């Protein structure tokens, strides 16, 4: 089945009889973007990453990490599910039950095994339980928690030295991002990749904190959509932690989003109690357990 951009079914694409009751799955094309976005934006907070990628690039894929491919599931009632596989091999789904299973089975058939699967823990576990090849290939589970911040809950931190970053601060942002990646991952992306990432961050919102003549902390909005934004890249240099520098940077980048009526979300490890306390001090609340599964 295909959908026209006005949201109606293409009658030429619908077979008669029994096929009308079946879920149909196909790859996203340019004529379906508005329909897919309307579906995803029914839950803008939950589907933030997919909404961001689709709004930014649509079905076009130039090989960037955040780009990728989409599968759409639909029936006679319209669109009922989306699966996104980015160029890092991570799956995200906006679907549940049999629709999620059908999308995943089709993605396995077309694209082979993913490298990662991310989403609310209950939904990820249900999909693993339904598809044996995925369950058997699990190598690692990263247990995280999704946190949510609304304007009415926001408690800003106004520590001195914080400022929104611009193009002239790009070198400082890159330096801190490289420190973050080396500390968390043990390696760092190529210079041009990090620089491109930080340049995009300044387009949305990024903040730096300076203390004693040096840059000591940063935070940025990693993905921005009309309904919700995602906070990320939060980092404080070693030796300067637990002094509210990160809280100040987070406050600066979250405030504009909240002023526009958006919610801000983020994911962090469930056992990272220091970070969770930091975010909760700003007004973040737990939304759901999040799970990232890595496959062999």
| Final residue of a structural domain among 110, 136, 162 | 136
Evaluate if residue 156 carries a pLDDT over 80: yes
Q: Does a structural domain hold residue 230?
A: yes
| Final residue of a structural domain among 105, 136, 167 | 136
Rounded CA-CA distance 199/197 in Å is 5
Count of domains in the chain?
2
- Whether 171 and 284 map to the same domain: the answer is yes
- The answer to whether the CB of 147 falls within 8 A of the CB of 279 is yes
Task: Tell me what pLDDT residue 278 has.
Answer: 94
- Whether 33 and 90 map to the same domain: the answer is yes
- Whether 88 and 183 map to the same domain: the answer is no
Task: Tell me what pLDDT residue 10 has.
Answer: 40
Q: Does a structural domain hold residue 94?
A: yes
pLDDT, average across residues 164-174: 92
Q: Does a structural domain hold residue 257?
A: yes
Task: Tell me what pLDDT residue 8 has.
Answer: 40
Higher pLDDT, 166 or 16: 166
Q: Does a structural domain hold residue 78?
A: yes
What is the residue-averaged pLDDT of the chain? Answer: 90
Q: Does a structural domain hold residue 190?
A: yes
- Whether 84 and 164 map to the same domain: the answer is no
- Whether 285 and 161 map to the same domain: the answer is yes
- Whether 61 and 167 map to the same domain: the answer is no
| Final residue of a structural domain among 136, 170, 199 | 136
The pTM assigned to this predicted structure is 0.87
Q: Does a structural domain hold residue 165?
A: yes
174-210: pLDDT as tens digits: 999 999 999 988 898 888 889 988 988 888 899 999 9
Angle at 163 between CA 160 and CA 168, to 5 degrees: 140
- Whether 165 and 285 map to the same domain: the answer is yes
Task: Tell me what pLDDT residue 224 has.
Answer: 94
- Whether 130 and 256 map to the same domain: the answer is no
- Whether 245 and 198 map to the same domain: the answer is yes
Residue 82: give the domain boundaries. Answer: 11-136
- The CATH code of the domain that includes 262 is 3.40.630.30
Q: Does a structural domain hold residue 2?
A: no
- Whether 124 and 158 map to the same domain: the answer is no
- Whether 285 and 234 map to the same domain: the answer is yes
Q: Does a structural domain hold residue 208?
A: yes
Rounded CA-CA distance 5/36 in Å is 9
- The CATH code of the domain that includes 76 is 3.40.630
205-233: pLDDT as tens digits: 999 999 988 999 999 999 999 999 999 99
- Whether 122 and 156 map to the same domain: the answer is no
pLDDT, average across residues 18-37: 82
């Amino acid at each position: 089945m295909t959908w026209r951009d006005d949201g109606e079914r293409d009658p030429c694409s619908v077979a008669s009889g029994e096929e009308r009751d079946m879920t149909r799955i196909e790859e996203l094309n340019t004529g379906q973007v508005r329909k897919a976005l309307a579906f995803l934006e029914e839950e803008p907070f939950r589907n933030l990453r997919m909404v961001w990628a689709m709004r930014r690039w649509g079905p076009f894929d130039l090989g960037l990490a955040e780009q990728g491919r989409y599968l759409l599931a639909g029936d006679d009632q319209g669109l009922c599910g989306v699966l996104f596989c980015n160029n890092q091999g991570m799956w995200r789904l906006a679907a549940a039950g049999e629709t999620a299973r059908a999308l995943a089975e089709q993605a396995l058939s077309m694209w082979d095994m993913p490298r990662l699967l991310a989403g609310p823990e209950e939904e990820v576990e249900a999909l693993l339980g339904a598809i044996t090849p995925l369950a058997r290939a699990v190598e690692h589970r990263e247990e995280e928690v999704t946190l949510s911040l609304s304007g009415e809950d926001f408690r800003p931190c106004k520590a001195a030295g914080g400022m929104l970053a611009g193009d002239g601060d790009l070198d400082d942002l890159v330096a801190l991002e490289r420190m973050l990646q080396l500390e968390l991952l043990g390696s760092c992306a190529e210079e041009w990749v990090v620089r491109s990432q930080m340049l995009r961050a300044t387009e949305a919102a990024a903040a730096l904190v300076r203390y004693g003549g040096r840059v000591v902390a940063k935070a940025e909005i990693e993905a921005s959509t009309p309904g919700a934004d995602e906070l990320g890249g939060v980092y404080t240099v070693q030796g300067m932690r637990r002094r509210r520098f990160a809280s100040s940077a987070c406050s600066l980048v979250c405030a504009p989003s909240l002023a526009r009526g958006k919610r801000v979300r983020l994911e962090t490890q469930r056992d990272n109690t220091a970070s969770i306390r930091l975010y909760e001090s700003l007004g973040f609340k737990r939304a759901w357990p999040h799970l990232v599964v890595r496959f062999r």
